[in-house]
Amino acid sequence: MTGLGPHWVFIVAAYLGVALVTGLTIWSVVASARRIEARIARLEAETRPHVVAAGRPN
Amino acid sequence: MSSVAEKPNWFSRLANPGQFLIWSRLVNRPLAVVTGLVFVAGLYYALLHSPADYQMGETVRIMYIHVPNAWLSQFVYGVMVVSALGSLVWRHPMADVSMKAAAPLGAVFTGLALYTGSLWGRPTWGTFWEWDGRMTSTLVLFFIYLGLIALWRAFDDQLRAGRIVAVFTLIGAINIPIVKFSVDWWHTLHQPASVFTPEGPHMPMSILMPLLIMTLAFTLLFTSLQLLSMQVEVRRRRLATMEKRRAYAAGTPN
Amino acid sequence: MKGFAAVIRRDLTLAFRGGGDIMTLLLFFVMVGAIVPFAVGPDKALLSRLAPGIVWIAAFLSLLLGLDRLFRNDHEDGSLALFRQAELPLAGLVAAKVIAHWLLAALPLIVASPVLAVLLAMDAPTWLRVVLSLVIGTPGLAALGAMGAAVTVSLPRGGLLAPVLITPLALPLLIFGTGSIDAMAGNSALLLLAAVSLVLVAVAPFMAALALAVSED
Per-residue H/E/C for chain C:
CHHHHHHHHHHHHHHHHCCCHHHHHHHHHHHHHHHHHHHHCCCHHHHHHHHHHHHHHHHHHHHHHCCHHHCHHHHHCCHHHHHHHCCCCHHHHHHHHHHHHHHHHHHHHHHHHHHHHHHCCCCHHHHHHHHHHHHHHHHHHHHHHHHHHHHHCCCCCHHHHHHHHHHHHCHHHHHHHHHCCCCCCHHHHHHHHHHHHHHHHHHHHHHHHHHHHHHHC
- Asked if residue B42 belongs to a domain, the reply is yes
pLDDT reading at B2 higher than 60: no
Task: Give the count of domains, chain B.
Answer: 1
Using alpha carbons only, what angle is made at residue A40 by residues A34 and A46, rounded to the nearest 5 degrees?
135
- Asked if residue B16 belongs to a domain, the reply is no
Cβ distance A14 to B66 less than 8 Å, yes or no, reads yes
**Which residue ranges make up each domain of chain C?**
2-216
* Residue span of the structural domain in which B70 resides: 28-191+203-226
- Asked if residue B142 belongs to a domain, the reply is yes
Average pLDDT, chain B: 86
pLDDT reading at A54 higher than 80: no
C183 interaction partners in chain B (CB closer than 8 Å): none
Say how far apart CA B187 and CA B205 lie, in whole Å. 31
Nearest CA in chain C to B166: C211
CA C84 to chain centre: 25
pLDDT given at position A53 = 62
pLDDT given at position C215 = 85
Residues 6+ apart with CB under 8 A from B219: B68, B71, B72, B75
Cβ distance A40 to B242 less than 8 Å, yes or no, reads yes
pLDDT given at position A44 = 85
B50-54, B87-91, B193-197: least confident range: B193-197
Neighbours of C, requiring at least 3 CB pairs below 8 Å, are: B
Across A7-21, average pLDDT: 92
pLDDT given at position B195 = 44
Say how far apart CA B150 and CA B155 lie, in whole Å. 9
Question: C165, C201, C206: which to substitute to probe chain B, counting the most B Cβ within 10 Å?
Answer: C165
Average pLDDT, chain C: 88
Nearest CA in chain C to B167: C211
Nearest Cβ partner of B167 from C151, C167, C171?
C151
Nearest CA in chain A to B48: A3
B57, β-bridge pairs: B53
pLDDT given at position B201 = 47
Q: Does residue A16 belong to the interface with chain B, where contact is any CB pair within 8 Å?
A: no
pLDDT given at position C77 = 84
Cβ distance B111 to A17 less than 8 Å, yes or no, reads no
pLDDT given at position B194 = 42
pLDDT given at position B5 = 46
- Asked if residue B249 belongs to a domain, the reply is no
- Asked if residue B140 belongs to a domain, the reply is yes
pLDDT reading at B3 higher than 50: no
Across C128-136, average pLDDT: 93
pLDDT reading at A1 higher than 70: no
Whole-structure pTM value: 0.88
Cβ distance B62 to A11 less than 8 Å, yes or no, reads yes
pLDDT given at position B196 = 45
Higher pLDDT, C102 or C16: C102
pLDDT given at position B83 = 95
Say how far apart CA B86 and CA B97 lie, in whole Å. 11
pLDDT given at position B4 = 46
Q: Using an 8 Å Cβ cutoff, are C57 and C32 in contact?
A: yes
pLDDT reading at B76 higher than 80: yes
Higher pLDDT, C26 or B81: B81
Nearest to B70 by CA among B124, B21, B109, B29: B109
Q: Using an 8 Å Cβ cutoff, are B150 and C164 in contact?
A: yes
Per DSSP, the three-state class of B251 is coil
CATH of residue B45: 1.20.120
Across B77-92, average pLDDT: 93
- Asked if residue B13 belongs to a domain, the reply is no
Q: Which long-range contacts (CB under 8 A, 24 or more apart) does B80-83 make?
A: B80/B106, B80/B148, B80/B169, B81/B169, B81/B170, B81/B173, B83/B166, B83/B169
- Asked if residue B245 belongs to a domain, the reply is no
Q: Using an 8 Å Cβ cutoff, are C150 and C101 in contact?
A: no
Interface confidence, given as ipTM, is 0.88
- Asked if residue B171 belongs to a domain, the reply is yes
> Which pLDDT band holds residue B225 (cuts at 50, 70, 90)?
very high
pLDDT given at position B170 = 95
B52-56, B241-245, C29-33: least confident range: B52-56
Nearest CA in chain B to A36: B236
